[in-house]
Amino acid sequence: MKKVTKISSLAALSLLMLTGCNGGGESSKTSQDNSKYNWTITVSSPVEQTKFVTEQCNNFKEENGYTNVKFNFVNYAEGEVDTKVPDWSASGAPDIYAFASDKTLSLVKKGALARVPSNFQSQMTKEMTAGAIESGTLGENMYAYPYAGDNGYFLYINTDYVSVDEASKVEDIIAACKDAGLKFGYPLGEAFYSMAMLTTFGASYTVNMNDDFTDISSIDATYDSADGLQAAKGFRDLINNDGVMTGSSNEVLKAPTKANGLGAVVGGSWNSAQFEEAVGKDKLVALKMPTITVDNETKTLRSFLGYKLYGVNPQVSKSDTARLAFDHSLANYLVGAEVQENRFDTFSTAPTNKTVAAMDKVTSNQYVKAISDQSADAIAQTIVPQGVWDSPKALYDGIKAGDIETDEELQAALTTLNTTVETAR
């Protein structure tokens, strides 16, 4: 049995502690006649990246002479693609798609991830961070092409209402927001945010894999411990605080402006462009998560941190080995140094390529720095059992409705939550 401990420091993945290396991932231009291929290749990406991905795919096509290849661009959310694609073998199913690192095992079990060819595997191992490589690897098999190292979140403040000095403690943030007639936004109604917060005082889960890393054999969790109860008390206090806006990311993730009723908000780098436009680049500041004090003990609020990757679906190409080779080459191109730099310039996406990550413009970027500073208090988002995503909703809803108020009621809810984490796959 192999153990994968999920509650651990990600300091080793810090995007600021990288050494330089040759760039890579770009396609090698070829002299062979590729105009004979007339496939329609379906590519899935986040909706906000459609224009960017379209441009990159067309660049690859032109550089390599695939004049008769066409693209069909679709938008499956990276965190839902494993459940939203109805039939991975059907015409129109994605050839290449973006996904979040915690979906790797689920997608492998569905037969939706082809193993990365050895030449691309060797290349990426040399050129990318160790954490990026691990995010798409099960056992000794690499299944994906990592393109983003910032699938996590941090604190945004509008300095018109919350100063940098006030931003280190959640209690001070709430007070500053209240003074301005605003609230602190924290999407605790969503497991991506709530489950990480519930680990703040030491509760944890450990995933035990079978020997060949093809499935989870068991899960050990401690959310029903004293550490879990301590975090849950803070969770309850934030939900019940009229100075905090909680709920889903759709409800809460808005720019910290007076119009939105927010002076500070917890969000990810994918929010940066929209927030900058609304707040102004000179007033929007990104920082690591603040501390919270519960029972006279102070800890930094914990977060999830994972990767975004491209996967190649082998089912759609069936026996067409040339098409499958094209898909792998295109996926490799999409995570190459040049494309990663362009993606950073466009979206402030933290790169996985070591050369790009070491560039001054990357290391000095406040959003990349915030993710890096938060990494020591983040949970590695690799193999995440379904119970982690399912279990916090009942706790949140019960507190919100006033059905879970006392410490005893919290403890009973945590016992249920812990069982769900350990049993739901």
What percentage of residues in the chain have a pLDDT greater than 70? 93
What average pLDDT does the segment 341-347 reach? Answer: 95
Whether 111 has a pLDDT exceeding 70, the answer reads: yes
Whether 340 has a pLDDT exceeding 70, the answer reads: yes
Name the more confident of 162 and 2.
162
CATH code matching the domain that covers 152-304+380-423, chosen among 3.40.190.10, 3.40.50.150, 3.90.180.10, 3.40.50.1000 = 3.40.190.10
Whether 407 has a pLDDT exceeding 80, the answer reads: yes
What average pLDDT does the segment 258-265 reach? Answer: 98
16 confidence band (pLDDT: 50, 70, 90):
very low
What average pLDDT does the segment 152-170 reach? Answer: 98
Same fold, 7-151+305-369 and 152-304+380-423: yes
Whether 31 has a pLDDT exceeding 70, the answer reads: no
32 confidence band (pLDDT: 50, 70, 90):
confident
DSSP string of 218-249?
EEEE-TTSHHHHHHHHHHHHHHH-TTEE-S-H
CA separation, residue 169 to residues 18, 163, 193 (Å): 29, 11, 17
Domain locations in the chain as residue ranges: 7-151+305-369, 152-304+380-423
How far apart, in whole angstroms, are the C-alpha atoms of residue 334 and residue 326? 12
Per-residue pLDDT tens digits for 181-198: 999 999 999 999 999 999
Any idea which fold 7-151+305-369 has? D-Maltodextrin-Binding Protein; domain 2 (3.40.190)
Q: What confidence score (pLDDT) does residue 7 get?
A: 40
Whether 17 has a pLDDT exceeding 70, the answer reads: no
Q: What confidence score (pLDDT) does residue 4 get?
A: 52
Whether 107 has a pLDDT exceeding 80, the answer reads: yes
Chain centroid to Cα 55, Å, comes to 23
Q: What confidence score (pLDDT) does residue 9 get?
A: 35
Whether 11 has a pLDDT exceeding 90, the answer reads: no
Q: What confidence score (pLDDT) does residue 382 get?
A: 85
Per-residue pLDDT tens digits for 40-57: 999 999 998 999 999 999
What average pLDDT does the segment 201-229 reach? Answer: 95
What average pLDDT does the segment 270-297 reach? Answer: 96
Whether 377 has a pLDDT exceeding 80, the answer reads: yes
Per-residue pLDDT tens digits for 313-335: 999 999 999 999 999 999 999 99
What average pLDDT does the segment 18-24 reach? Answer: 35
| Nearest one of 288, 123, 292, 110 to 214, comparing CA atoms | 110
What average pLDDT does the segment 393-398 reach? Answer: 98
Per-residue pLDDT tens digits for 228-259: 999 999 999 999 999 999 999 999 999 999 99
Q: What confidence score (pLDDT) does residue 5 get?
A: 42
How far apart, in whole angstroms, are the C-alpha atoms of residue 55 and residue 252? 32
- Give the β-pairing of 262-267 and 154-158: antiparallel
Asked whether the beta carbons of 334 and 324 are under 8 A apart, the reply is no
Following CA atoms 416, 418, 423, 425 in sequence, which dihedral angle do they give, to the nearest 10 degrees?
Answer: 120
Q: What confidence score (pLDDT) does residue 29 get?
A: 59
Dihedral sign for Cα 77, 82, 86, 92, please: positive
Whether 362 has a pLDDT exceeding 60, the answer reads: yes
Sheet strands (E) in 14-134 = 40-44, 70-74, 96-100
Q: What confidence score (pLDDT) does residue 3 get?
A: 54
8 confidence band (pLDDT: 50, 70, 90):
very low
Report the chain's mean pLDDT, rounded to a whole number. Answer: 92
How far apart, in whole angstroms, are the C-alpha atoms of residue 413 and residue 408? 9
- Give the β-pairing of 2-5 and 205-209: antiparallel
Under 8 Å CB-to-CB from 71, ≥6 apart: which residues?
40, 41, 42, 43, 54, 57, 58, 61
